[in-house]
Amino acid sequence: MGKFDMRKVGIIGLGHVGATVALDIVQGGFADELVLIDKKSEVAKAEVYDLWDSLALQPYHVKIYAGTYADLKDADIVLSTLGHIDLIKPGGDRFTELRANAPEVKSVSEKLNECGFNGILIATTNPNDVIVDMYSKYLNLPKAHILGTGTYLDTARLKRQVADCLNLDPRTIEGYALGEHGNSQFAAWSTVRIGGQPFVEIAEKKGISLDDIEEATRQGGFAVFNTKGYTNVAIAAATVGLMNLVFSDAKNVAICSHYDADFGSYISTPAIIGKDGVEAVVKLPLSADEMVKLQASANEIQDKIKQFS
């Protein structure tokens, strides 16, 4: 019998992202038991009713209920999808949410500690790197069991931008956006390849601007937010993707916000994800310029942590 014979997941925060994550999990049959928690209990119950109404139309059965923190004692994975995206203005910064999200993260951590939660926590809450650092300070969990979506989504956005330039499927693109899930992130062009060929060589031949792609990647979330007023589909896919790497004990390399001892910070660099969360950190052969950018991004994250401390 494996570690996750009955996959139990808790979702904390049922806004646009949390609700979409719940739907993705139910439609994919990615959990056997799904506990929904929101500070407004009536919101959690409404989402449960909506999901219940869909069960006769779904290919999988999932036990779904609005619960309390006591129900998370034996959860395998808890997903922190709480947030205050309404505080961000068009063209703004994810750091805007911190003062509203920070006390909620502290409260959630206290309740998880009180109930004895001993699983893995994956956070989408922004500013993501600062938030997972806070969870690591508050929760009675090893750092390897606390991770954030980080630049997992930004990397997907980078792949989409590159693929669009070449009329390719984004899944054919290799490479990473590294650093902060925020303004100091950057495209690590030395890692970006198509069929083994460096994209920088392809871009040079075709007259493609790397700077334009990098900026479009950095602003990708706001390209959606500025019209919709929120983002939900892609970040939900990133969240559920990381969750499934844990459940399947994938030992797969994924870019996410995790504690990297080289920088003394939570930051997005590639890591091997399995049933024990972050099981190893992958050291990329970055260029000297990219190493400078990565250290600068780590410094930016730490500066933001100090601003709030």
Q: Which residues of 65-82 are buried (b: 16+ CB within 10 A; e: fewer)?
A: ebbebebbeebbbbbbbb
Q: Note whether 122 and 179 are same-domain residues.
A: no
Q: Note whether 80 and 223 are same-domain residues.
A: no
Q: How confident is the model at residue 307 (pLDDT cuts 50, 70, 90)?
A: confident
Of 148, 176, 195, which one is at a domain's C-terminal end?
A: 148
Per-residue confidence (pLDDT) for residue 1, from 0 to 100: 35
Percent of the chain past pLDDT 90, that is, above it, reads: 84
- Range 73-96 average pLDDT: 75
Per-residue confidence (pLDDT) for residue 265, from 0 to 100: 93
pLDDT digits (tens, 9 = 90+) for 158-198: 999 999 999 999 999 999 999 999 889 999 999 999 999 99
92 is in an annotated binding site: no
Please provide the distance, in angstroms rounded to a whole number, between the alpha carbons at the two ends of the chain.
Answer: 44
Q: Which of 100-104, 137-141, 240-244 has the lowest mean pLDDT?
A: 100-104
Per-residue confidence (pLDDT) for residue 275, from 0 to 100: 97
18 is in an annotated binding site: yes
Given a cut of 70, is residue 305 above it in pLDDT? yes
Q: Which of 6-10, 92-96, 247-251 has the lowest mean pLDDT?
A: 92-96
- Which residue stretches of the chain are H helix? 16-28, 41-54, 98-115, 128-138, 152-166, 199-206, 210-218, 220-228, 233-247, 288-308
Q: How confident is the model at residue 304 (pLDDT cuts 50, 70, 90)?
A: confident
Total structural domains in the chain?
2
Of 133, 148, 163, which one is at a domain's C-terminal end?
A: 148
Q: Note whether 175 and 191 are same-domain residues.
A: yes
Q: How confident is the model at residue 259 (pLDDT cuts 50, 70, 90)?
A: very high
The kind and range of the H/E element at 269 are strand 265-274
145 belongs to the catalytic site: no
| Residue among 61, 84, 145, 181 flagged as catalytic | 181
Given a cut of 80, is residue 92 above it in pLDDT? no
196 is in an annotated binding site: no
252 is in an annotated binding site: no
Q: Note whether 141 and 184 are same-domain residues.
A: no
Of 120, 148, 176, which one is at a domain's C-terminal end?
A: 148
* Domain region containing 187: 152-308
154 and 220 Cβ atoms separated by less than 8 Å: yes
13 is in an annotated binding site: yes
Q: Note whether 190 and 213 are same-domain residues.
A: yes
116 is in an annotated binding site: no
Given a cut of 90, is residue 212 above it in pLDDT? yes
Q: Note whether 197 and 98 are same-domain residues.
A: no
Determine the Cα–Cα distance for residues 295 and 130; give it in Å rounded to an integer.
16
pTM assigned to the model: 0.94
Q: Note whether 162 and 48 are same-domain residues.
A: no
Q: Is residue 3 part of a domain?
A: no
Q: Note whether 79 and 124 are same-domain residues.
A: yes
Q: Note whether 142 and 159 are same-domain residues.
A: no
